[in-house]
Amino acid sequence: MENQEKPATLPRIGEPAPAFKAVTTQGEINFPEQYAGSWVILFSHPADFTPVCTSEFMTFAKLEGEFNKLNCKLVGLSVDGLFSHIAWLRTIKEKIEYKGMKGMEVKFPLIEDITMEVAKRYGMIQPGESSTKAVRAVFVIDPKGIIRTIIYYPLSLGRNFDELLRVVIALQTADAFNVATPADWRPGDEVIIPTAGSCGVAKDRMESKEEGITCHDWFFCTKKIDKETVLKKITGK
């Protein structure tokens, strides 16, 4: 193993988000410490002044209020410098009109990472795709600073923002109600009740026909939680 570079440990779901300090378009940040108590989406984009990234930033700016209602803040990153970030965000605000979005102001911090230190630590540099640009990474981090979801997209593929909102809502719902969320779940759909500790208990549950619970088999029971109850619990409204 002599002279071989040690592979970097990549962040993993269920582990603390790696800490760093960085310069951003909104001043310095101390991540994730200063976000304690909030959910945060840390995301990367390949480069300023590129079209897919521009469409994404306009959409992030449009939806920032929706994320904030979920107590979720946004933090962007690319390996460009601060002056490039500032010039690009000004261009977006002053010049770009796209899909009904106009005058979009990006108010959340955009990290400059010209040394790629943060990007490398977070596995955002994936040389098979590009060794000079970050891929489109998404890290959803909870109020305790734990990584709860990681999604990576390639350079050519813009993110699905319905999915990003759905991920935050589903994670918060799972925490608040001690449930899991099935395929394509959206608020108002049935949720999954964790399998009880033993087959015996689960079998009892199947046979007792608890009110509001449907068991498809001993390991697969669901119940309805209506949309208003979900949203009230997670947003407090």
Active site residues: 53
User: How many residues form the binding site for ligand BEZ (CB under 6 A)?
Assistant: 9
151 binds ligand BEZ (CB under 6 A): no
To ligand BEZ, the closest distance from the beta carbon of 60 in angstroms equals 13
Host H or E run for residue 43:
strand 39-44
String of DSSP letters for 42-109: EEE-S-SS-HHHHHHHHHHHHHHHHHHHTTEEEEEEESS-HHHHHHHHHHHHHH-EETTEES----S-
Q: Which amino acid is at 220?
A: F
Binder of ligand BEZ out of 46, 109, 123, 145 (CB under 6 A): 46
Binder of ligand BEZ out of 50, 68, 84, 229 (CB under 6 A): 50
Nearest to 229 by CA among 171, 179, 165, 177: 177
51 binds ligand BEZ (CB under 6 A): yes
Q: x/- binding map, residues 117-136, to ligand BEZ, per CB under 6 A? A: ----------------x---
Q: Given the rule CB under 6 A, which of 11-19, 42-50, 142-150, 219-227 is the region that contacts ligand BEZ?
A: 42-50
**What is the number of residues in the chain?**
237
To ligand BEZ, the closest distance from the beta carbon of 72 in angstroms equals 23
What count of Cα atoms within 13 Å lies in the side-chain half-sphere of residue 124?
A: 28
Torsion of CA 32, 143, 46, 166, to 10 degrees: 180
Q: Given the rule CB under 6 A, which of 32-40, 44-52, 68-76, 163-171 is the region that contacts ligand BEZ?
A: 44-52
Site for ligand BEZ in 155-174 (CB under 6 A): 155-156
Interface residues with ligand BEZ (CB under 6 A) are 46-47, 50-53, 133, 155-156
